[in-house]
């Protein structure tokens, strides 16, 4: 008999598994939280700090930074979709193989600016050699890569921020995804790169199949199309991968909101009661990015207000009872931060009280005294 799952049931389980229903205990839970999220978007590190912090009872930005730069239980590198994420260091054997197994297209650069697969492999190897045991700025890394490969790697052919970057940087994300590169501590105002701790990658088939199972446990029920969107992978490749797992009995089909979807095999237990409560999620939080169907997570006015052309993540969001019900923005000045929250509907007295507690929690994460202002958010997306 096919299991039937409602949005409320799926939402309750996702929130619980994301530590958004019951926060993780202790200030040292950062890597456990990131593992549950699969990855924390960290193009803006303060957003990642809030993503992790609101999922823990005592985690602050100082704890996240200690996990990154001192304990090295977290790694800042190129993750899903080629964008900068925090990953649990213990999961690098999975990520490095799974991400490099995702087929990629030719890219937007003209043919004479691209690198061949052979050149890309040379660059990744050179990056790993250059960063072993040291931290280098991007200019220093460019010199090291060119010295190990040839002048062609340094040709300024990549348009970026009103300048031209050297050719090798078009595969920088691949170096990060493969485990040859990660971010190091800033040197003053300059970003540095280093190599993560050495590890043995998983076999390709094992890694990709495990990533699907992990994704379904965190964000299921889901479909190959949603998985492909989350990973920025070709839909046909994702469909074939789900087919392999289904034939092997590692995933099973369910009915989710009257449509076919998939969960990990045997993982069909869902809560009967919906999760109630208020949560604040920052820019590009994993929950807002990965949870589908998006029109159910962003119902009605939320779809128009909290998305940018249908893309999630550009606005920090207010969750009420597991769905997006507003946007917010925080502006820090010294040791204080003003958190402006724009609800899209009327909040009850209980929800207003919980909102105040969540704002206080954001302040604790950022190690600042937070003040709540309920009103219109006037900043644009990703401001």
* Class of the domain covering 204-264: mainly alpha
Backbone φ, ψ for residue 342 (5° rounding): -110, 95
pLDDT in tens, 329-366: 999 999 999 999 999 999 999 999 999 999 999 999 99
Where is average pLDDT lowest: 4-13, 61-70, 155-164?
A: 155-164
What letter does residue 77 receive in the DSSP assignment? E
| pLDDT, position 27 | 62
pTM for this prediction:
0.94
Average pLDDT over residues 50-67: 95
Residues 164, 167, 172, 174: is their CA dihedral positive or negative?
A: positive
CATH of the domain spanning 278-374: 3.40.630
Q: How far is CA 106 from CA 112, 113, 231, 280, in A?
A: 12, 11, 17, 38
Q: What is the spatial order of strands in the sheet that 84-88 belongs to?
A: 40-41, 84-88, 74-78
Q: Mean pLDDT over residues 20-35, rounded?
A: 89
**pLDDT class of 25 with cuts at 50, 70, 90:** confident
- Alpha carbon distance 56, 365 (integer Å): 9
Q: What Cα–Cα distance (Å) separates residue 154 from each residue in 115, 167, 182? A: 11, 6, 20
Between 382 and 170, the higher pLDDT residue: 170
> What confidence tens digit (pLDDT) does each residue in 89-128 have?
999 999 999 999 999 876 788 888 899 999 999 999 999 9
Tell me what pLDDT residue 104 has.
83
208 token code pair = 């990709």
Neighbours of 175 (CB within 10 A): 27
DSSP conformation class of 143:
H
> What average pLDDT does the segment 307-322 reach?
93
Give residue 112's pLDDT: 85
Sheet of 259-264, strands arranged across: 4-5, 251-256, 259-264
Residues 247-302: tens digit of each pLDDT: 999 999 999 999 999 999 999 999 999 989 999 999 999 999 999 999 999 999 99
Task: Sketch the domain layout of the chain as residue ranges.
Answer: 204-264, 278-374
Write the CA distances from 158 to 110, 111, 113, integer angstroms: 10, 12, 7
Distance CA(333)–CA(353), nearest Å, equals 24
Alpha-carbon gap, residue 117 to 90, rounded angstroms: 28
Handedness of CA 105, 107, 108, 111 (dihedral sign): negative
Question: If you search the block for the tokens 């530590």, which residue do you land on?
Answer: 19
pLDDT at 28 over 70: no
From first CA to last CA, the distance across the chain in angstroms is: 49
| pLDDT of 160 | 85
With residue 71 as reference, give the H or E element that holds it: none
Rounded to 5 degrees, what angle do the CA atoms 53, 54, 58 make? 55
**306 contacts 315 by C-beta, under 8 angstroms:** yes
């Amino acid at each position: 008999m096919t299991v039937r799952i409602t949005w409320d049931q799926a939402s309750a389980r996702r929130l619980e598994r994301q530590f958004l229903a019951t926060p993780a205990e202790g200030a040292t839970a950062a890597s456990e939280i990131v593992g549950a999220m699969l990855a924390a978007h960290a193009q803006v590190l303060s957003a990642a700090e809030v993503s992790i912090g609101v999922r823990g009872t005592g985690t602050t930005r100082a704890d996240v930074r200690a996990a990154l730069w001192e304990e090295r239980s977290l790694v800042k590198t190129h993750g899903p979709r080629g964008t900068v994420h925090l990953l649990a260091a213990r999961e690098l054997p999975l990520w490095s193989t799974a991400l490099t197994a995702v087929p990629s297209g030719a890219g937007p650069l003209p043919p004479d600016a691209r690198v061949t697969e052979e050149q890309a492999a040379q660059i990744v190897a050179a990056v790993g050699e250059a960063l072993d045991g040291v931290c280098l700025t991007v200019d220093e890394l460019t010199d090291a890569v060119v010295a190990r490969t040839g002048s062609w790697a340094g040709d300024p052919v990549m348009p970026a921020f009103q300048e031209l970057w050297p050719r090798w940087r078009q595969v920088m994300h691949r170096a990060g995804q493969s485990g040859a590169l990660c971010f190091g501590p800033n040197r003053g105002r300059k970003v540095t790169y280093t190599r993560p701790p050495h590890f043995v990658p998983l076999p390709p088939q094992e890694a990709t199949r495990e990533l699907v199972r992990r994704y379904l446990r965190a964000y299921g029920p889901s479909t190959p199309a949603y998985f492909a969107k989350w990973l920025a992978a070709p839909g046909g490749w994702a469909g074939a991968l789900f087919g392999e797992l289904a034939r092997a009995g590692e995933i099973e089909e369910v009915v989710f909101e009257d449509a076919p979807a998939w969960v990990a095999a045997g993982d069909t237990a869902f809560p009967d009661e919906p999760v109630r409560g208020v949560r604040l999620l920052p820019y590009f939080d994993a929950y807002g990015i990965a949870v589908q169907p998006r029109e159910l997570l962003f119902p009605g006015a939320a779809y128009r207000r909290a998305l940018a052309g249908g893309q999630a993540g550009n606005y920090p969001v207010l969750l009420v009872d597991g769905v997006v019900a507003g946007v917010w923005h925080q502006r820090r000045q010294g040791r204080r931060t003003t958190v402006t929250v724009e609800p899209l509907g009327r909040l009850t007295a209980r929800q207003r009280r919980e909102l105040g507690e969540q704002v206080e929690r954001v302040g604790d994460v950022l190690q600042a005294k937070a003040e709540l202002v309920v009103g219109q958010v006037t900043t644009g997306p990703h401001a």
